[in-house]
Amino acid sequence: MGKKQVVVGIDIGGTNTILGFVDREGNILAEDKIKTSYYDEVEVFIAALYEKIMVAQQKIDFEVEIIGYGIGAPMGNINKGTIEYAADLPWKGIIPLADIFKRHTDLPVIVTNDANAAAVGEMIYGGARGMKNFVVITLGTGLGSGFVVDGKLVYGHDGFAGEIGHTAIRPGESNRDCGCGRKGCLETYVSATGIKRTLLKIMADSIEPSSLRKYSFEELDAKMIHDAALEGDAIAVRAFEHTGRMLGFKLADVVAHTNPEAIFLFGGLALAKDLIFEPTKRYMELNLLSIYKGKVKLLESELSTQNAAVLGASSLVWSIKEHK
Amino acid sequence: MGKKQVVVGIDIGGTNTILGFVDREGNILAEDKIKTSYYDEVEVFIAALYEKIMVAQQKIDFEVEIIGYGIGAPMGNINKGTIEYAADLPWKGIIPLADIFKRHTDLPVIVTNDANAAAVGEMIYGGARGMKNFVVITLGTGLGSGFVVDGKLVYGHDGFAGEIGHTAIRPGESNRDCGCGRKGCLETYVSATGIKRTLLKIMADSIEPSSLRKYSFEELDAKMIHDAALEGDAIAVRAFEHTGRMLGFKLADVVAHTNPEAIFLFGGLALAKDLIFEPTKRYMELNLLSIYKGKVKLLESELSTQNAAVLGASSLVWSIKEHK
């Protein structure tokens, strides 16, 4: 028997980049990470990342054979192997990530959007096993989305399908500024940052007391709002209610586009469970056309926050290998 | 050589139902119509429709062999062969249309959404030939949509994908009533009826003179607004501007979902050409995320208004036959 084949799954985030050796069954045999924000130059970052991978392989006595590299990143484009204008990464403009990585290896290197990677991961290892039509929404610093139609990930003509974090809540200019340069994008409401903005808005409008009034915007995070809401803090509960209202409203649009069987919520805000799921479901149903009402499941991702993106990025290489 | 094979394409509309004998190349060899609104009972309607088809076959001396029936209808569901809660048809609730039709024939009968049929027609005979990812928007009494992803029509889990006419412009209750029972749906702005509502709103708000002020809501139609706009009527021009603003805003959402190569506009309002295309394109671009800007074509359907739905409905039977 030969060595166990693995794909290296890589999740490039704004702060950290996580890598894992993933076998066909989705077991992670080795894992490591590297600080993304430390590297101003992408070439140096990739060289350091590749070095980490080689060291990790050494640590397990070369018991694995790497067959490819799957990389998930914000604004990752599978057609071109690029990252394009990613607001949260240190490298600006269009970055030919796959080409830079291929200076180190002759194996297949696939770059894709991190939310698309999560959708593939959910389909192969998570709660979407057996589903043909579903959507994964990733709730982190921003809001990402991955669409699966008829058992296949939707890439679209330019490889940029699934950016509903940047659809606007309403027409016009009187909306929240978004990091993308536009106004009123869904992720300015529904994300770790979005719920902080909503909390401050409610604090500004109301006179209700709240344990969170003593913290600055910079000190606050989504977890603190979550904890306060669990303790019955009225303003924190209302922040979740409004976040669910905005998400439910736009998920009704998602249903009217591709009529999925289920929508999975993944990432930080999804860990708030009922606090976010209940209002999201309620407002989604309120906004659905009658033919869709009561039919679309709103589910928690079955992949743990830690491993999902790595699993997803690696599973993409496995799935492409199998379609050959 | 045997008889020429044809599919009977049928387009069920609120007022008229059109049928055509369509060959593999998209030629319509015979055509007829029947008044939908005359029939309170769907069984009687189908019997009369089938009779019309038989008579049409007789008229061309049985020179064709019918191989199947493709029916496009509002809220048509391809999975179940039903029409469900179609606001504009005389038959309410869930109608098992394919089953009723099959009492008359053993040949394949396919029922689908009329906008989905138009998308398939555009792909096989129209401007979307060679395209893998595109969207067709049908502008009639309402607004329909059909999505093609990776060369295949998107049906979704329940067969109801593509109802963006019923996505709302903004959250909340202070919106226009829609025939579907909800508020602020896109089709309350962007449709033959929607532009009339917008015109009345502008007349109410402004004091500008207009040649259209002498007509009642019931007397007005989209063509009259079109003609007035061509003559420079400021209120009519503003009605088109606002219609394009709402459509462009929501088409930016469409792009963020499936990243199509092109969006085709089809039907009555699309005949207004630049009057509708120019503001729609402008507001779509304004609302697009930078990675999409300047990349998505907004095109006129290449199928004539008269034949497109019949062609589309029939081509669906041809395409299913070929995928077998």
Q: How many CB atoms lie within 10 A of CB A319?
A: 16
Mean pLDDT of B234-255: 97
Q: Do B156 and A182 touch (CB under 8 A)?
A: no
Question: Which residues of chain B are within 8 Å of residue A258 when distances are taken between CB atoms?
Answer: 147, 154, 156, 161, 257-258
Task: Determine the residue among A259, A280, A297 to mutate to test chain B binding: the one whose Cβ has the most chain B Cβ atoms within 10 Å.
Answer: A259
* Closest residue in chain A to residue B156, using alpha carbons only: A259
Average pLDDT, chain B: 92
Q: What is the pLDDT of residues A108-143, one digit of tens each?
A: 999 999 899 999 889 988 999 999 999 999 998 889
Nearest by CB to A252, from B147, B167, B170: name it: B167
Q: Do A257 and B261 touch (CB under 8 A)?
A: no
Q: What is the pLDDT of residues B88-108, one digit of tens each?
A: 788 989 999 999 999 999 999
What does the H/E/C string look like for chain B? CCCEEEEEEEEECCCEEEEEEECCCCCEEEEEEEEHHHCCCHHHHHHHHHHHHHHHHHHCCCCEEEEEEEEEECCEECCCCEEECCCCCCCCCEECHHHHHHCCCCCCEEEEEHHHHHHHHHHHHCCCCCCCCEEEEEECCCEEEEEEECCEECCCCCCCCCCHHHCECCCCCCCCECCCCCECEHHHCCCHHHHHHHHHHHHHHCCCCCHHHHCCCCCCCHHHHHHHHHCCCHHHHHHHHHHHHHHHHHHHHHHHHHCCCEEEEECHHHHHCHHHHHHHHHHHHHHCCHHHCCCCEEEECCCCCCCHHHHHHHHHHHHHHHHC
Q: What is the pLDDT of residues B162-177, one digit of tens each?
A: 999 999 999 987 789 9
Q: How many CB atoms lie within 10 A of CB B207?
A: 5
Q: Do A163 and B245 touch (CB under 8 A)?
A: no
* Closest residue in chain A to residue B76, using alpha carbons only: A291
Q: What is the pLDDT of residues A40-54, one digit of tens each?
A: 999 999 999 999 999
Taking 50 as the pLDDT cut, the residues of chain A under it are none
Q: Would you say A139 and A268 are in contact if contact means Cβ atoms under 8 Å apart? A: yes
Give the pairing type, strands A16-22 and A82-84: unpaired
Q: Do B156 and A133 touch (CB under 8 A)?
A: yes
Name the percent of chain A lying above pLDDT 90: 76
DSSP letter assigned to residue A286: H
Q: Would you say A191 and A165 are in contact if contact means Cβ atoms under 8 Å apart? A: yes
Q: Would you say B189 and B233 are in contact if contact means Cβ atoms under 8 Å apart? A: no
Q: Do A291 and B160 touch (CB under 8 A)?
A: yes
Task: Determine the residue among B178, B259, B263 to mutate to test chain A binding: the one whose Cβ has the most chain A Cβ atoms within 10 Å.
Answer: B259
Mean pLDDT of B283-309: 89
CA distance B101 to chain A (A): 23
